Each structure stands twice: as C-alpha cells, then as structure tokens.
Amino acid sequence: MSRRDFLVEIGTEELPPLPLKGLADAFLSAVVQRIDEAGIKHGRAERYASPRRLAVLVKGVQEQQPEQEVRRRGPPVSAAFDASGQPTRAALAFAESCGTQVADLQRVQEAKGEFLLFSARRPGALTREILPGIVQASLNALPIPKRMRWGSGTVEFVRPVHWIVLLFGSEVVPASILGVSSDRFTRGHRFHAPKALRISTPGAYTSTLRKRGYVLADFEERRERIRGASLELARSLGAEPVMDDSLLDEVTSLVEWPVPLAGGFEDRFLALPREVLIATLQDHQRYFPLSGHSGALLPRFIAVSNIESTAPEQVRAGNERVVGPRLADAAFFYDTDRKQPLAARCPALAQVTFQTRLGSLQDKVMRVRRLGAHIAARIGADARLTERAADLCKCDLLTAMVGEFPELQGIMGRYYAQHDGEPADVAAAIAEHYLPRFAGDGLPATRVGMALALADKLDTIMGIFAIDQKPTGTRDPFGVRRASLGVVRVIIEKQLELDLRELVAMAAELLSAHSPSVGAIKDEVREQVYDYTMERLRAYYLEKTSGLDISTEMFDSVLSNRPASPLDFDARLRAVERFLKLDAAASLAAANKRIANILRKAQLPHAPAVNTELLRAPAEQRLHGELERLRPQVEPLLERRNYTEALQQLAQLREPVDAFFDSVMVMDDDTQLRNNRLTLLAQLRNLFLHTADLSRLPG
C-alpha cells in the first residue's frame, strides 16, 4: 500500500511562551494516537513549535485504512423472535441499522445468554478523508486551561487562528478547522517575510520556512541555536551566561529567528544581591546574565532579539534603556527596605489575610512558632532561634522589593535579617522555610530551617483540609501538593525521626486554638491529612526520585501498615526492595497472599497462642519450631527498624512454609485442629506484617 507524508500546521497570533513546548508535545501525541487508533501505519512523527505556529509532520502515512472487521451485538435471541419464530421489531431494527437482513445475522452465546450478532469486513476509509477529524479531535484534546474566542465567531482556541496548512503528500486536504479553511500557504517571520509562503510538500516545510521565511520551526534546533550563539558571544567577552533550562525554553518560545546581542548596565548595580540582579534580568526581561570566571556577576547581559536588524547597536541600546530603570527601581527598593528592621514589620502582619477562615499572616506565624519550636526540640535544633525565625519569616512579604519581585520572598528576608544583625541560623531559616519550592529543588541546610519549613508546610496543609478546600485535579491555590511532598522529602532526605501523626495532631490543635472560625478538627480530617501527605511519596518513589527501583505493589505493601514516621516508611520500603531480590521472595509473597485469603475467609476466633499438643503433622511441627527459633532473632531487629535483616532472617521460612502447604490441610473438619493451624498462620503473617504486607507483592 502506497504512503505519503502528512503535515498539519496551525498558524496563530503569538502563543503564550510558557506552555508552548507542552502544547506542541501534546499535539504530536494526540495526532499520533488517533492515527494509530484508526489502524493506519506510519513512520516517524515530528512536532514543530514557534510563537506563531504549532505543527506536526508524520512520515510515510498509509493512504487507506486496512480492511475493517465490524462486530455488533444485537438484542437477546429471546427478544428477537416471537413465539412463532418470526423476527420482532427489535430484530428488524437491528438488522436495518447494520444494513443487512435478519436471516444473515449470526448468534453468539455469552454468559448472560444468546444474542444476535452482526459480523462483516468492510474496506477501510481513505486516509485523507479521516485526517481532518483526527486533527480536530487532537486540537480539542490539547491541555488549554482557558480558551479564547475572537471576532464574531464561536470557535475557541488558545489564540486566534489565521491559517491552516493540511497536506497529504502534495495534495491539500480540504477541511475547515477552527473556523479556517485549509490550504498550503504558511506565513514566515512577521517582519522579515510577511507574505504567504507556498509549501509544496510536507518534506519541504522546515526548509521553506528557514530559507524564505526567516523561521526556525524546530523548537530544539532554535533552542540549540540560542544556547550555542549565546555561549559563543559570552565567551568572546570573557564571561559565561547564567542560563537555566526554564529560561532557555521560554526565550526559545518567544522568538522565531533568534539573534543574541550583548548589553550592559552601570557597575553600581552590582552592589545589589545576586538574586535581585538575576530576577531583574531573567524574570522581568528574559535576558541571560553574565558571570566572570570567579562566578561573580558582571555588568553585562545577553538579550535574544527576534529580528536580524541592520542597526544592531540601536537594538542593544534599546535593551539597555529598558534594563537601566528596572535596576534603578530595584536599588531604590533595596535601600528603602533596609531603613527599618525586618522585625518592625511584625505588627503589620495582622492586617494581611492568609486565608479568610484561617486568619491573618500573624495568626499563621503564631501557629508556626509553636509547632516549629516543638519540631526543633525533636530534631536537635535551637527552639529559641526557631521561634525568632518564625516571628520574622513572613515579614519580607511587606517589603517593597518582594512586592515587586514576589519570587524573592524568603531570599530578601535573609538579606534583611543579616543586615539587622540577626543570628546566622535565623537569617538562613527565613529563606530555607520555603524550600523545596519545586520538584527537585534543594532542601533546608540548617536544623532551624528544617523545623521552620516543616511547621509552615504542615500548618498550611492542615488549614486547607480543615476548611474543606483540599486540592482537586485542577485547583491547588495554596500549593498543598508541593507542601506535602516537601514535608516528606525533608523528613526522609534529612533523616529526621519524626512522628507525622503527632505533628498533624499538634497542627490541628494549634489551628483550632488560634482560628475560632475553624473550630474543633475531627480525627477524620487528621487522618485525611496523614493519608494525603504520605500518598505524595508514591510519585517520589515510583518516578525513581529516591534512587530506588520501586513498584506500585511494593509501595502499597508498606503503606498498608500506615507507618507514623516517613523515615520508618522509607526503611521498610528499602527492606522490601532488597527482600524481593532474594530467591525465597516470590514463594513467600505467594504464601502470604494465600495466608491472607485463608484468614480473611476463616474469621479466626481469638487465640493467643498455638497449642503445641494439637500440632499433629510433621510439617506444621517444623513450621512452628522454625517460627519459634526465629522469633527471638527477628523481633529485636524489628524494634531497631532493621527491617532488611529481619526479612532476610524470615526468608529462611521458605521451605517450611512450602512444605506446610504441600502436606497440611488447614481447614480440617476438626475445629480445634483448624483453629490451631489458623493461629499458627496468623502468627507467621504478623511477623512479616511488622515490615510490610507481603500479600500485596507479586508472587
């Protein structure tokens, strides 16, 4: 069957830069998925994205679907024919909908009875006929949180659409998508090549845009052009660009024909904190700051223009004219903020609402102060310094600098606390209590910072659950997911021995005491907070963030025991991972599964001990003897949380357990024998359950 390349391009007004790469990936995935669902074979697929376009090119697409097998189940035979054997209206209607006669229908026997069945093979549709539907469905499925309308139409998309390219080989596929008729004409750079450009075939797409349109449509190619050219330009100046991946992606999403240019600013602005300079240049201007070989910032930057100007000096001067006043404003804020101590802003926190029902920022600080001091005592931090850090940790939210640069919250608090002569741990904790700010971010380095970070996050989580505003799939305005993952990351990665249930309970008590509108918090809500926080570990482990090779079954086997300590959870999970590498693991997991099923069905009456006089079979005598021999060795290991060695010891039970199930009838007719054997199995299972529920593991 012959094949052709397929190209779709959606031409728009300038797309939002931050989600551009994600939209392009989603468009590619959706188009390929729907082509696959149609049963159409194809080759490699590529996606393209720039500020004014989303495009997908699929190589070697079959021109026609393969022959389709159609199977439709009709009404029950009992309802399809009357007493005389004549077809009823139900049978006639079903046959008519299938385009056939009742006599040509088959019958199929299923668990619920016998039914009429239509079965046929039909030629597949021509690919060009189904491509418009594939494109439209793929666009509908894009993760666009807020779509917009334009003009007088009712069509909605992320931005107004101006052209659609839809080519199957050299042929235009006729369609109307997002209110625009398809064609073969794209648009180049808005200024360098504003006229329509003809695309002869999908394979000519990128070269036509590059050579005649001044557009690098390939996102990765454009990104590498920016990175490489900026690096070369910086090194020609004896510098290195400060270039993180997120900013590089954003700049790539803002330009179609990137031209890096170097600019500069006054040396006096280097007196500003490094983070202020970077925030001004990166976050506000999308420039790359430059640093010297020592790592210190230089009074230079690189801006990436979207135009190849005949007067680059004017472009450079324009960028410098913009950044100068920005830095002057930052310097003014910095000088003004330091004219009064950070602590002088504490009373004003009472006038700032944290959340309507949860009170002001001052109310939150009071709760965090108490909880932070409690945690500090548990982890060996200075409780007095933790209380002082709690008093000051939200004060920089009232400064002019953080008002202009919200991303510097905590960071500016640290600088201002240092300027005021606060203890080093207090200043550090003010910045650290926001950590981790995002996935993969660093954690607090000081004990005071750890205590304050945990207290602040637990107070937020508890408060949001207490007012029944817990996160949904699309809404999490207070960052509860991030806070929950931060809690367990700090505890586990910093090896803090803390009881999560105890901390949740204290957070609930403090919230009830300092937020009258919340009232008493039910135990049910406390358990929800524990469950939600521990559940954040699932992605942490399953995505290999922890460095362990963990499966869903392994995670659930430990979570089912609901350990109070996340650190204890981690120790159990590591033990299970190592246990599964033993030869005995599969057999013992299967045995635990079998024991769990037997005990669940048997409803064993309480029996505190095994009656040795009722152990008749040699296999049950051997199992009991091995269990009693190992118990004194295993229980001390469990008390010390040496779960790995405990499971390794219990692995010795593989042969006795296998022999028991091979030769002993557990559910004996003799009630005493049956209950005694069930008790033996219950004791065996409980010894494993101290670490994890192995019945949840594959085996």
CATH number for the domain harbouring residue 131 = 3.30.70.260
In a domain, 111, yes or no: yes
Whole-number Å distance between alpha carbons of 210 and 327: 37
Q: Are 15 and 160 in contact (CB under 8 A)?
A: no
Q: What is the DSSP string of 162-213?
A: EEEEEEETTEE---EETTEEEESEEE--TTT--SEEE--SGGGHHHHHHHHH
Digit-coded pLDDT (tens) for 540-559: 888 866 677 889 999 999 99
CA distance 633 to 14: 69
Residues 6+ apart with CB under 8 A from 448: 376, 381, 382, 385, 386, 389, 425, 426, 428, 429
How many whole angstroms separate alpha carbon 67 and alpha carbon 90? Answer: 29
Q: Which residues contact 695 (CB under 8 A, 6 or more apart)?
A: 557, 589, 592, 593, 595, 596, 597, 685
Q: Give yes or no: residues 330 and 352 share one domain.
A: no
Q: Which of 160, 190, 213 is the endpoint of a domain?
A: 213
Q: What is the pLDDT of residue 132?
A: 96
- Tell me the residue ranges of DSSP E strands in 222-363: 240-241, 259-264, 288-291, 297-305, 353-355, 359-360
Whether residue 380 is found in the same domain as residue 295: no
Name the token pair of 48: 């393209």
Q: Quick one: 116 and 133 in the same domain? A: no
Same domain? For 381 and 453 the reply is yes
564-591 b/e (C-beta count within 10 Å ≥ 16 → b):
bbbbbbbbbbbbbbbbbeeebbebbbbb
Angstrom distance (rounded) from CA 561 to CA 563: 6
Torsion angle, alpha carbons of 313, 319, 325, 329, to 10: -150
| 545 located within any domain | no
Are residues 242 and 284 located together in one domain of the fold? yes
Query: Domain for residue 467, yes or no?
Result: yes
C-alpha separations of 255 from 215, 304, 601 in Å: 9, 8, 66
Structure tokens at 29: 């995935």
| Counted domains in the chain | 5
DSSP 59-94: EEEESBPPPEEEEEEEEEHHHHB-TTS-B-HHHHHH
Residue pair 508/465 in contact by the 8 Å Cβ criterion: no
**207 and 287 co-located in one domain:** no
pLDDT in tens, 228-284: 999 999 999 999 999 999 999 999 999 999 999 999 999 999 999 999 999 999 988
Residue with token string 């670490």: 691
Whether the CB-CB separation of 383 and 419 falls below 8 Å is answered with no
> What SS3 state is found at 597?
helix
Q: Cα torsion at 378, 379, 381, 387 (round to 10°)?
A: -50
Tokens linked to 107: 């019958």
Q: What is the CATH number of the domain that holds 486?
A: 1.10.3210
Give the residues of the chain that fall short of pLDDT 70: 1, 544-546, 605-607, 699
> Please, is 495 exposed, middle or buried when counting C-beta atoms within 10 Å of its C-beta (0-12, 13-18, 19+)?
exposed
Domain range holding 229?
219-337
- Cα–Cα distance between 589 and 698 in angstroms, integer? 7
The residues that bridge with 362 in the sheet, in sequence order, are none
Q: Look at residue 258 and tell me if it is in a domain.
A: yes
Maximum CA extent, the chain? 102
For residue 576, what are the β-bridge partners?
none
Q: Which of these three, 337, 357, 379, is where a domain ends?
A: 337
| Amino acid identity for residue 92 in this structure | L
180-183/161-168 β-pairing: parallel
Query: For position 114, what pLDDT does the model report?
Result: 93
SS3 category, 303: strand
pTM (2 decimals)? 0.81
**Domain CATH number, residue 657:** 1.10.730.10
**CB contact at 8 A, 458 and 503:** yes
Same domain, 477 and 353: yes
Shared-domain flag, residues 484 and 624:
no
Residue at 407 is within a domain: yes
Q: Is 560 a member of any domain? A: no
Query: Do 184 and 90 belong together in one domain?
Result: no
**Are the C-beta atoms of 569 and 641 separated by less than 8 Å?**
no
Q: Do 356 and 252 fall into the same domain?
A: no
Cα gap 178→138, rounded to integer Å:
12
Same domain, 368 and 506: yes
Answer yes or no: is 557 within a domain. Answer: no
DSSP 8-state code for residue 408: G
Boundary of a domain, candidates 507, 535, 563 = 535
The answer to the question of residue 558 being in a domain is no
In 3D space, the residue among 76, 86, 89 whose CA is nearest the CA of residue 115 turns out to be: 76
Please give the pLDDT value at position 292. Answer: 94
**Pairing, β 240-241 against β 259-264:** unpaired
Cα–Cα distances (Å) from 601 to 673, 678, 681, in that order, read 17, 11, 13
**Ordered DSSP codes for 48-66:** EEETTEEEEEEEEEESBPP
What pLDDT was estimated at residue 607? 59
Q: How many CB atoms lie within 10 A of CB 263?
A: 23
Evaluate whether 69 touches 273 at the Cβ level (below 8 Å): no
3-state secondary structure of 468: coil
Cβ-contact 471, 485 below 8 angstroms: no
Per-residue confidence (pLDDT) for residue 699, from 0 to 100: 62
178 and 201 part of one domain: yes
Q: What are phi and psi of 561, to 5 degrees?
A: -85, -10
